[in-house]
Amino acid sequence: MTDVQEKDNTWVIVGACIVAMIVVVMYLRGEKSAHLESGAVAQLQSETFANLEKRKTSNNVSEAQKAGK
């Protein structure tokens, strides 16, 4: 009788998983800056800085107010 050996596909599966992970990482690296192209981030940033500047100027009190006069 002849013994038939089964083919071990473990390394093929491991290699396919590694290739799939590399493809996913490359895809995500390409997509990470897509939101910057719309200009929404720049608009939000300018609005945020404008609001911070308003808050900074409205919180300034005079020395007379600090002294309680």
How is residue 7 written in tokens?
Answer: 């083919």
Residue 21 binned pLDDT confidence (cut-offs 50, 70, 90): very high
Asked if pLDDT for residue 19 goes beyond 90, the answer is yes
Amino acid at 13: I
Report the share of the chain in percent with pLDDT over 70.
70
- pLDDT, one tens digit per residue, over 44-63 is 888 998 888 887 776 666 66
**In the 8-state DSSP scheme, what is residue 6?**
P
